[in-house]
Homo-oligomer: A and B are copies of this chain.
């Protein structure tokens, strides 16, 4: 197992991915205490809110209030998501830890369905956003390629399309004098298997050996943790994941676009295999239990229900 990375960064997506898709109206104070608890687990970043149209995503109407009420810990990034200029300007006033992201889709059909813009228009928009980030002194370190493993609107996505779109992102960054740190590949609608993870990740790493590769995985069809493992084998060292398996993409075109890969299940696997996440698993399980209480429903995480192995090891020693 010597080819697994020694250490990975976990970006917690539960507050954003989970709350934006929830049909239950959640109280601002519950969102705040959930984010604050997550920030105490040791994750590198908590994605707190999205600055999107409150008519489309009513649970994000209080994004500014959530950001304002947070008591922040040192050593954790409290991030937010935006999809356009208007969202960015809101994010900029929120006081969150912003980082610009170059956001492209490997499938043009998804881009059109998701934002109404094709690839060329999206690139032009991203170029304008990069100029705005520069003006606002907001750093840009990663590009994210959506639908990198398949698309509900465009079908299978060739590896060459992912590499080509990643190249456009690298070029866009270079135009602004930015050297990217990494490329995040998103299985936006849950098509990936370990085999496609291997193919796409190895193609991207071969083309850009000095860039980190991250994965944003959904567990739509049960392969989420397996896909994370396949990524680890090929040097992926950053994962987006959701506490308790919260989440799903409300615009993905079908209601089964279920949650992100579950943070505590991913942390369990990594730590058991000797891959350090920096995350305190017991605290993350407490957050998952808090999420079930706040959301008022059983959530799909497994380790939160089964518990860790610690008590059995103690009994067996």
Contact = CB atoms under 8 A, between A and B. Distances in A.
Interface of A: 1, 4, 109, 150-156, 190-191, 193-196, 198, 219-223, 225-226, 228-230, 254, 256-258, 262, 265-266, 268-269, 272-274, 300-303, 305-307, 309, 312-313, 315-317
B262 A222 contact: yes
Instruction: Specify how many copies of this chain sit in the oligomer.
Output: 2
A302 B265 contact: no
B155 A313 contact: yes
Given A193-B269, A309-B150, A155 B316 contact: yes
A222 B268 contact: yes
Contact of A306 (B221, B225, B273, B315): B221
Could you say which of A154, A196, A220, A269 has the most chain B C-beta atoms within 10 Å of its C-beta?
A: A269
A305 B225 contact: no
Contact of A219 (B302, B312, B315): B302
Contacts of A221: 265, 268-269, 302-303, 306
A152 to B, nearest CB: 5
A311 to B, nearest CB: 9
Contact of A226 (B156, B195, B269, B309): B269
Given A226-B226, A226-B229, A226-B269, A256 B307 contact: yes
Contacts of A316: 109, 151-156
Could you say which of A154, A191, A226, A256 has the most chain B C-beta atoms within 10 Å of its C-beta?
A: A226
